[in-house]
Amino acid sequence: MASSTSLKLDFATIDVFTRTKYAGNPLAIVRVPKNITLTQDQKQIIAREFNLSETTFLHEQESGSGLPTWTVDIFMTTAELPFAGHPTIGTACFVLSEYAAAKGISEGVIEGGFKIKAGPIGLQYDVAKKTARAAIPHDIHVHKTTWSKENLSATQSQLAEASRKQDVNLKDEYPVASIVKGMTFILIELENEDALGRVATTALRPHVEGLDDGWDKTFVGCYFYVRYPDKDDGTRVLRTRMIEGTLEDSATGSAASDLAGYLSLLEGKPKQRLRYEITQGVEMGRKSDISLEVVMAESEGIETLYLEGSAVEVMEGRLTV
């Protein structure tokens, strides 16, 4: 039973990268008023209690002129993250829809911003479409080391068996790329949906030897993907799955951003805009739709990377600390 001195905080849960409740990727959002300070341990305990892939702590809107801005902390059940995609889009949909309602705005695009550990994020919210678009922090770094076919086979027994039977063709090595420091993915292209269906969670977490100095303290996940024919307007279409040991994630905005950025660096041209539509979570029964746009720089590299999606509220309540 809560004591009389317990902190009471409002929360909501939402499903992200979907317009359908109980699809997409669930997210818990905890409101933190200006007069309350939570320790790292308190935030971690709350995130562990929700037991979702991520929980965000939404600090009350900062006062002053300019765009509406909020500080947001992102926690997994085991650690804080500098950036994650579905918490960014979900929290943006949640707070900017509230902001629009409070201001009596029923159409058009609202601009705002988040301050997260990886840096500032510019936001746009389409009030009528109920979609958020985030110019995400990015410093895409392709590591010198790669992940071998042997590494993949050791963690994915069904793929290994199919490869031995020549039912699936596996590449000799796979690239390892970080979207920002602290968020790294092994990008594993498979040839078709059948191969993607053989992917499974595993007791063996991915381990990459020889990550580049300064980038080696990081979360590492395996992002499996299959390419489909491009749309008539050139939009690239992909199906994906994200596996990190025993965890499968139904929508991983950071991994989708990492993959889109990596492919754009390989295939993009200066000043080109490349669009991606990624579907994830199908095998989990939580289909998620992730949109991205990558704007290439005038000379080399990526100028801006936009992540976009929708969200729907599922629950609300109050917790005690």
pTM of the model: 0.91
| Nearest CA among 247, 259, 314 for reference residue 290 | 259
Sign of CA dihedral 185, 191, 197, 199: negative
Number of residues that this document lists for the chain? 321
Catalytic hit among 54, 248, 293, 308? 54
| Amino acid at residue number 215 | W
CATH numbers and ranges of domains, the chain: 8-136+312-320 (3.10.310.10), 141-308 (3.10.310.10)
H or E segment at 261?
A: helix 253-267
Tokens linked to 91: 């929290």
Given this model, what pLDDT does residue 7 score?
87
- Using CA atoms, how far residue 248 sits from 75, 121, 154, 237, 298, in Å, is 17, 26, 18, 21, 37
Nearest residue to 81 (alpha-carbon basis) of 227, 189, 181: 181
The per-residue pLDDT for range 27-57, each reduced to its tens digit, is 999 999 999 999 999 999 999 999 999 999 9
- Write the CA distances from 112 to 29, 52, 258, 319, integer angstroms: 18, 26, 23, 27
- pLDDT, average across residues 247-255: 93
**pLDDT at residue 64 is higher than 80:** no
Residues 6 or more apart from 3 whose CB is under 8 A from it? Answer: none
Q: Pick from 223, 227, 257: which is nearest to 242 by CA?
A: 223
Is residue 54 annotated as part of the catalytic site, yes or no?
yes
